[in-house]
Amino acid sequence: MLIIAQLSDFHVRPRGSTGYGDVDTSAMFRAAVDAVLAMDPRPDCVVVSGDLTDCGLDEEYQIVADGLAKLPMPVFVIPGNHDRREQLVRSLGSRHAYLPRGGFINFVEDRFPVRLICLDSVEAGETYGSFCAARQRWLRETLAAGRGKPTAIVIHHPPFLVGVDGMDELRLTDAAALEAIIREHRQVERVLCGHYHRAITVRYAGTVGYVAPSTAHQVALDLRPGTSNRFVMEPPAFAVHTWRPDMGMTSHLMPIGDYGGPFDIVLAGDYPGRAAHA
C-alpha cells in the first residue's frame, strides 16, 4: 500500500518570532515532522501543500529546510500565497532537486504507483490564487501523458467552493479552466489543497477535492454568510492518503499531539453484537 502524508501551511516564522500574535508555528512545524517520523509504517513520501513560511523570508526557509531534512522519505513542496518563489528555491533547492529553477513551481513525480502532479497556484502579491494559460497548458499536457495511471494533483488554493464565505473569497481564480481540464481525466483520484487551514472534502470535477488542515493554527468553521476568517487553536493535524490497487485512494486525518491511547477495545457485556474476533 502506498502511503502519502500531506502536510500543509506550516507558516514558519524566524527564530524567536511567533505568528498571529502568539502561535509558535515553527515549534508546531517541528512537532508535525516528529509525528510523521513516529508513524508505523512510515509514509512512502510527504507532500507539503504550500504556505511553508509565513512571510517568505530566507531565515524562515532555513528552518523549513532543516526540519524537512529529518524526514528520510522523499518530500515534495509547492508554494502558497505566504511563500516567495525565489527564496523558496534558493533555500530548499539543494535538497529538493525536483524544484524548477525559475518560473512556476510545477513538477511531476512518477516513481510511485500514484502519480503526483504538483501545481503552483501563486499570484504574487495576492492572497487568492491563479491558474493562467501557461499553467493550464502545462497541466493539460502533463495529464495527457499520464492517462491510465492513478494521479493526485496537489495545489495550494482550492479551486472549489466550500460554503465558508471567508474561505471562498480566497480561492483560485481561473477555476473553471482547471475544472474543465481535470474533468477530462478520469485518472485523477484527488485534488489535494491547503490554504484554508481546515479539513474539508468535496465532490469536484468528477473526482474528490480535499483540503488539508494546517500543522499550526486552524481557521474556525463559520457558516454564517458574509463573515471573515478567524483562527482557532483546534488540534493541528495532517492528512494521510493511502492507495491500493483493490481500493483506490482513502484519506485519513491524523491529529498532531498526545490525546491518550491507543487503548484496547473491550466490549461492554450488554453489547448487542458478537465480538468480531476472539
Q: Which residues bind Fe ion (CB under 5 A)?
A: 9, 51, 80-81, 195
Burial of 131 (0-12, 13-18, 19+ CB in 10 A): buried
Least distance from C-beta 81 to Fe ion, angstroms?
A: 4
CB of 264 to Fe ion, least distance (A): 38
| Residues contacting 7, CB < 8 A, separation 6+ | 32, 36, 46, 47, 48, 49, 212, 215, 238
CA distance 151 to 117: 7
How is residue 260 written as a grid cell? 491518550
Question: By the 8 A CB rule, do 143 and 151 touch?
Answer: yes
Reading the block at residue 253, the C-alpha cell is 486525518
Closest CB to Fe ion among residues 126, 141: 126
Tell me if 83 sits within 8 A of 56, measured CB to CB. yes
Nearest approach, Cβ of 123 to Fe ion (angstroms)?
Answer: 11
Residue 148: CB minimum distance to Fe ion, A? 33
Nearer to Fe ion among residue 81 and residue 215 (C-beta): 81
Q: Which is nearer to Fe ion, 54 or 189 (CB)?
A: 54
Provide the minimum distance between the beta carbon of 18 and Fe ion in the complex, in angstroms, as a whole number.
Answer: 15
Which one-letter amino acid corresponds to residue 155?
I
Q: What are phi and psi of 23, to 5 degrees?
A: -90, 115
Q: Which is nearer to Fe ion, 81 or 151 (CB)?
A: 81
DSSP state of 67: H
State which residue, 43 or 50, has the beta carbon closest to Fe ion. Answer: 50
Q: How far apart are CA 186 and CA 168, in angstroms?
A: 26
DSSP state letter for 60: H
Q: How far is CA 120 from CA 134, 135, 155, 156, 252, in A?
A: 11, 8, 6, 7, 24
**Closest separation in Å from C-beta 192 to Fe ion:** 14
By beta-carbon proximity to Fe ion, the closer residue of 43 and 80 is: 80
Indicate the helix (H) or strand (E) that contains 176: helix 175-183
CB 239, min distance to Fe ion, A: 15
The smaller minimum CB distance to Fe ion, of residues 114 and 167, is found at 167
